[in-house]
Chain A
Amino acid sequence: MIINIALICLAVATVLTIIRLALGPNWGDRITAYDFLSVNFALLIVVFTIKTGFVAFLDVALLVSILGFLSTIALTRHLLNGKVL
């Protein structure tokens, strides 16, 4: 019951963030929405882990958050410096 309510809240948050990702006026809004979406997806996977009881999804959540962080850093460095590394 509570898990379903949490899944509904996270899904509504994902939809609102995708709306902001679609109509953000700047590139900064889009990068912010993308960073939000990566953390939100990791938390969605954690709640899905609680729902199903399959513990290996926690590694998936950690991997998704690592990929979101690295892509955010790469995007900002590319937009600021012109190169990533």
Chain B
Amino acid sequence: MRILLIMLLLSWGAAQHPDLPALSADVPTSQSESQSVEPIEGAETSSEVPTTLTPTTSSEGMAETAHEAREGHSEGVSSSNHNQASNQTNNQANQHGERVGPPVVNTNLAEELLILFGSFFVLAAAIGMLRFPDFYTRLHASTKLVTLGGIGILVGAAFGFNDVQVSLRVILVIVFFFLTAPLSGYMIGRAGYLRGLPFYKEWGSVDEWQALGSGSTELEATD
């Protein structure tokens, strides 16, 4: 489910990119499309790009990318302003109002936001790693590094490059992180518990494994 969401995000990011040459209609297009295109054909071919990029996306993602491309085409016809700096704010400001500029979606904004998010969570995990009082709570803090920090930075890298090879490698690294991070956390916690590392006892913490696993008498004794 997460992988499908990430691939949908990547296909959305890739669908925005071929709109850039097709909207201006006098700039020659990129190498993957035909040379002199009308804006309608440009919108249609740009909607077909994510099918070759991610062949396993659902029909929902296809419909969404087609809708994005069609919306971009209609906005591009309605006006001919090409100021790239103010386009991002125009698209976000009046989503339902009047359309001012062509929808040149700057992928740098998504990249920078995701990388900032991810690095902030890495820093928070390191602070929790330093400040927590116990081995088990430190393990809890360190395994939370991967899910938010790593995925933010990696998806930000995929947005920044906007390339198929980088996206495939990023998906591979994300799958590897999601496979190995809970396993290593489980192994460290299992080894630490079975060899009897001490845990923090000042908040009334109870060893539930020992209380529940050693029979009902201890459970009645603790209750």
Listed in ascending order, the chain A residues whose CB lies under 8 Å from chain B are: 2-3, 5-6, 9-10, 12-14, 16-17, 19-20, 26, 28-29, 31-33, 35-36, 39-40, 42-43, 46-47, 49-50, 53, 55, 58-59, 61-62, 65-66, 69, 72-73, 76-77, 79-80
Contacts and interface: CB of A to CB of B under 8 A. Distances in A.
B184 interface: yes
A6 B138 contact: no
A55 B163 CA distance: 10
Contacts, number: 142
Contact of A43 (B129, B153, B181): B153
Given A55-B161, A58-B173, A66-B176, 4 more contacts: A2-B116, A28-B139, A29-B135, A32-B188
Interface residues of B, number: 51
A2 B123 contact: no
A73 B176 contact: no
Contacts of B166: 55, 58
- Interface secondary structure of B, over-half rule: helix
B85 interface: no
Contacts of B123: 9-10, 12-13
B144 to A, nearest CB: 10
Contacts of A32: 129, 135, 138-139, 142, 188
Contacts of A17: 126, 129-130
B156 A9 contact: no
A10 B185 CA distance: 21
A3 B115 contact: yes
